Homo-oligomer: A and B are copies of this chain.
Amino acid sequence: MLAIEQTDPEDPRSLTWAEAPTPRPTTGEVLVKVAATAVNRADLLQAAGHYPPPAGESAILGLECGGVIAEVPADGSAGDWAVGEEVLCLLAGGGYAEYAAVPAGQLMRPPAGLPMTEAVSLVEVACTVWSNLVMTAGLRAGETVLIHGGAGGIGTFAIQLCRALGATVATTAGGPAKVARCRELGADIAIDYREEDFAEVLADHGGADVILDIIGAKYLDRNIRALAPDGRLVIIGMQGGVKGELNIARLLAKRGSVTATGLRYRDRADKARIVAATAAGAWPLVESGAIRPSVHRVMDIREAAAAHDLLDSGEVSGKLVLTIGGA
């Protein structure tokens, strides 16, 4: 098959579309012919040498894909999935390729009514947002949630999901265009972090019951200031650094929690649990129109390096989708 190969480990942009061995599904896996994948910040980190795939998983980039099942195991270990079915896939790696071997628990039927280029853009963000906000933080209707990076791939999905779940939604974003985008998606409180201190704004609104953070150290203290009593901070990215000072007294006064978590290194049983919950909880909201995919641009897989540059530029609102074979 063809797949994206990083020809120079020192050069994160040396991404070429080249021959690679077609993956061989093992027990419980199906082979998917990939029609589209999408770019995640984790792919940029992996290309830069910072985010290795879990042991035993594909070393090819790509954490999500959509396509058609090309092969199922003869022993029935993948359940009742059938050749020819259209699927979305949460991957530990391997989406930037013509074929991917996917554990059955990480397959989802796509929400009805969307082209694959839009549906594929939802996989990682939906699983990330659902697992963190609903399953980990236990977000409830009537609570206030603060979403950092509201105009990004995760943010655009999270704003819409939290609105649909009945939460009051606060967001941060950089600059008037992104702030306007957050408002358009349904944010009740849209903060331009270049102009305002989000911790002060949230304090004026009684604090955030839940915060979804992609910044890490740089925001740690302000996030804790922004929490409401019994508030839950969930950190899923560290774009602002790794080590921060934690004021435990401030956290204790609010009976707050800090959870740092990710999808990629979870075991397959855990991923299957998340994928099933996400499809059951979020896809109906996509089908009803309460959540719309936010695709910044669709590009060809051969443009992977340019797509990485674009995401790195900070000028992307929503997701970058890569099509394979002109899907």
Contacts and interface: CB of A to CB of B under 8 A. Distances in A.
Contacts of A220: 246, 248
Interface residues of A, number: 27
A231 to B, nearest CB: 11
Interface stretch (A80-88, A195-203, A255-263): A255-263
B257 A259 contact: yes
A258 B261 CA distance: 12
Contacts of A2: none
Nearest to A224: B260
A238 B246 CA distance: 12
A246 B249 contact: no
Contact of A216 (B243, B248, B261): B248
A242 interface: yes
B266 A252 contact: no
Given A252-B261, A258-B258, A245 B246 contact: yes
Given A220-B246, A245-B245, A247-B242, A235 B252 contact: yes
Given A242-B248, A243-B248, A244-B248, A259 B256 contact: yes
Contacts of A238: 248-249, 252
Interface in A229-276: 235-236, 238, 242-249, 251-253, 255-262, 265-266
A238 B252 CA distance: 10
A301 B163 CA distance: 56
Nearest to A247: B243
A217 interface: yes
25 contacts: A216-B248, A217-B246, A217-B248, A220-B246, A235-B252, A236-B252, A238-B249, A238-B252, A242-B248, A243-B247, A243-B248, A244-B246, A245-B246, A246-B246, A251-B258, A252-B262, A253-B265, A255-B259, A255-B265, A256-B259, A257-B258, A257-B259, A257-B260, A258-B258, A258-B259
Given A238-B252, A256-B259, 11 more contacts: A217-B248, A235-B251, A238-B249, A242-B247, A243-B245, A245-B245, A245-B246, A253-B265, A255-B262, A256-B260, A257-B260
